[in-house]
Structure 1
Amino acid sequence: MRAMILDAPGRPLREIEMPVPEPGPEQVLIKVHTCGLCRTDLHIVDGELKEPALPLIPGHQIVGTVVAAGERAGQFAAGDRVGVPWLGSTCNHCRYCLSGRENLCDKARFTGYQINGGYAEYTVADYRFCFPIPEGYPDLQAAPLLCAGLIGYRSLMMTGEAGHLGIYGFGAAAHIVAQVARYQGRKVYAFTRPGDVEAQRFARDMGAVWAGDCREAPPEELDAAIIFAPDGALLPAALRATAKGGVVVCGGIHMSDIPTFPYEILWGERVVRSVANLTRRDGEEFLAIAPKIPVHTEVRPFPLSAANEALDALRGGKISGAAVLVVDG
């Protein structure tokens, strides 16, 4: 099979030919159709997330078809279309796993980080951490649901019933979250890089009632804010824009250092919290609600061999919506 390999952080991915993997007893072998690109992939490739399992096939928003299953992977059969997310396995018996917080498991392993991912023609995955893909979503549009959608949904749930919602960084996750928030009757205020009029236009197209740059104050106080951009300086800005009793959710896996800020912008029972990974329950809930809205994903396709070009476009903020590798077809 063809695959794009990361040999060392900071280096471009390398296209190689390698054997198709064999599924283990609780794994399925998947013919990959599409794989979404995520900012987490950038953090891995650029060395901001430490200790990836090198050499590594990145990618954790995988859509494909099961072609073989291990002897104990009974849930799926050949021909089933499945999605593979970031969370690839957990220990299933620690205090986090037993209390519905498997996203915090100390022994969790992640697709495209410790487990080879979807920048390849085939991959294997633990069947217990795969999801059936809802009908009505073509492979290309389904891929961003598996991380941008899931992490975005978990972040949104952390905001409670906030009616005025700020979103800092309007990319793949934000354009999905905005649709869910609008469906729930919330008002969305989008914050972009200064001068990024294209992202602001895109945010309004996705239902934002206001879009401006991250240095501006919104026209209304926010009840909550979600920060998807990996810029720590946005946290004080979001706190200043958020009303007393509100919450600021950091939705990324990596963020630059947060600058010091005065206690007064945290005071008033404002809350700052992070979102770590996802649970299978998040996936089940979001993939059930997405077709009802229905969530529409804006995608820019790239062939598998252009993975480096796609990562460069994502790194440079040149993607409206989500970038997706088209691996098969």
Structure 2
Amino acid sequence: MKAMVLRSRRAPLVLEERPTPAPSPGEALVRVEACAVCRTDLHVVDGDLTDGPLPITAGHEIVGRIEVVGSGVDAFRVGDRVGVPWLGGVCGACAYCADGRENLCDDPTFTGYTRDGGFATHVVVNADFAFPLVGFDDPIAAAPLMCAGLIGWRSLRMAGNAKRVGLYGFGAAAHILAQVCHFQEREVYAFTRPGDQSAQDLALSLGARWAGASEDPCPCELDAAIIFAPVGALVPAALKAVRKGGRVVCGGIHMTDLPRFPYRLIWGERQVMSVANLTRQDATEFLAFVPKSGIRTVTTRYALDRANEALDDLRGGRVHGAAVLVP
């Protein structure tokens, strides 16, 4: 098998030939058809997230076919198409797991961070954290759903029944979530990097009521704002845009430090909250929702050995929609 491997932080991935691994009990070997490139992958490569072991194969928005099923796995057969997300396993014993909040597990594993991921031709996965993709006929289109789609779905749930939703950072997650909101008859207001007309045009084409730069005033009061860009300075900006009682949801795993801001921005029972990972229930609900809603992903395809180029394009804001590696 081939894999794009991170050997040291802040260094390019290295293409390696490796023996194809065999699954242990409870695992499955997946032949990767597509793996989307997430901003979290950038945080791993760029050293913003440092707790994971090295070397590691990045990538956690995986779509592929089961090639080998380990003992004790009854849910899948060889040839089944599955999706594999960021959350790769939980302890099942901590207070959070017992309380139905496995996304906050005290001893989790993460695909592409603490266990090898999908920037490869093959990957071994915990079968309990793989999801059947029956009816998802295009693996490239489906790959961004496995994190960008899922974290957007969970973020929207945290935003409550907001009618007017601001999306800060219009990348892979926001371009999917905008379609979810449109289907649910919510209004979307998209905030992009200053001067990023392509992202603004994409937002409008996907049903946004308004699109502008992150520094622009919103044309109306928002019920909630969801921040996908890893920029702490957007939190006070979003607080200014939401009404009393509104919520600002931070959807990323990493964000630059929040600046000081006056108490008046949060007064009026405004809330700031974060989203951490996902649960398997999130994935089950979202993947059932996608076919009904007609969501389409906008993707740019890269060969596996161009993973560094894809990461650099994402880092530089040159990807609109989602970048997807195709072995």
Task: Identify the TM-score tier after normalising by the shorter chain.
Answer: over 0.9
Q: How many angstroms apart in 1 are the aligned matches of 2:75 and 2:98?
A: 22
Q: Alpha-carbon deviation of 1:73? A: 1.2
Q: How many angstroms apart in 1 are the aligned matches of 2:17 and 2:275?
A: 36
Pairwise mapping of residues 138-177 of structure 1 onto structure 2 (< 5 A)? 138-177=138-177
Contact 1:190 1:212 in 2 (8 A): yes
Structure 2 partner of 1:294: 294
Q: How many angstroms apart in 2 are the aligned matches of 1:137 and 1:237?
A: 40
Off by >4 Å, runs of 4+ in structure 1: none
Q: CA-atom RMSD, angstroms?
A: 0.6
Q: Deviations over 1:95-141 (max 9, x none)?
A: 10111100000100100000000011110001100001141440000
Q: Percent identity?
A: 57
Q: Deviations over 1:203-241 (max 9, x none)?
A: 101111000001111111000000000000000000000
Q: Alpha-carbon deviation of 1:52? A: 1.9
Structure 1 partner of 2:276: 276
Contact 2:81 2:134 in 1 (8 A): no
Q: How many angstroms apart in 2 are the aligned matches of 1:248 and 1:117?
A: 31
What amino acid maps onto 1:297 in structure 2?
T
Contiguous gaps of at least 5 residues in structure 2: none
Q: Alpha-carbon deviation of 1:198? A: 1.0
What amino acid maps onto 1:86 in structure 2?
W
- SS of residue in 1 equivalent to 2:83: strand
- SS of residue in 2 equivalent to 1:229: coil
Q: How many angstroms apart in 1 are the aligned matches of 2:134 and 2:50?
A: 34
Structure 2 partner of 1:98: 98
Pairwise mapping of residues 43-192 of structure 1 onto structure 2 (< 5 A)? 43-192=43-192
Q: TM-score when scaled to structure 2?
A: 0.99
Q: How many angstroms apart in 2 are the aligned matches of 1:278 and 1:63?
A: 17
Contact 1:134 1:287 in 2 (8 A): no
Structure 1 partner of 2:259: 259
Contact 2:224 2:242 in 1 (8 A): yes
Contiguous gaps of at least 5 residues in structure 1: none
Structure 1 partner of 2:242: 242
Q: How many angstroms apart in 2 are the aligned matches of 1:301 and 1:133?
A: 20
Q: TM-score when scaled to structure 1?
A: 0.99
Q: How many angstroms apart in 2 are the aligned matches of 1:51 and 1:280?
A: 23
Structure 1 partner of 2:222: 222
Q: Alpha-carbon deviation of 1:306? A: 0.2
- SS of residue in 2 equivalent to 1:29: strand
Q: Alpha-carbon deviation of 1:53? A: 1.6
- SS of residue in 2 equivalent to 1:144: helix
Q: Alpha-carbon deviation of 1:195? A: 1.1
Q: Alpha-carbon deviation of 1:249? A: 0.1
Question: How many pairs align?
Answer: 327
